[in-house]
Amino acid sequence: MTTTTSTARLEARISSELHVMLKRAAEIEGRSMTDFVVAAVQDAAKRAIEQSSVIRLTLDDQECFAAALLSPPKPTAALKRAFTRRKKLLGDE
């Protein structure tokens, strides 16, 4: 059984100096230049996506968040009504 993987082409113009650097790095790792560049770009893309989903808080914000978790405010009337509506909609009564 064979599987077909769809591919796309990526082209980029780079300086001669960068080309030499990439070629040397690929040789050091025993990879083809294409394999080296694809792996490096994939790692960079994963890091960028992961970093975009991380929430960074200042120390003050961290303390405020922790305090809210440890001592949450009492539910307001609006929140109680929302939970009641949710129970009715989902049939959790």
Whether the Cβ atoms of residue 66 and residue 58 lie closer than 8 Å to each other: no
Taking the C-alpha atoms of 59, 65, 69 and 72 in order, what is their torsion angle to the nearest 10 degrees? 130
pLDDT tens by residue, 42-87: 999 999 999 999 889 999 999 999 999 999 999 999 999 999 999 9
Mean pLDDT over the full length of the chain: 93
What SS3 string covers 40-71? HHHHHHHHHHHHHCCCCCCHHHHHHHHHHHHC
**pLDDT at residue 1, as a whole number:** 67
The pTM of this model reads 0.58
pLDDT tens by residue, 20-39: 999 999 999 999 999 999 99
Count of Cβ atoms closer than 10 Å to residue 36 Cβ:
19
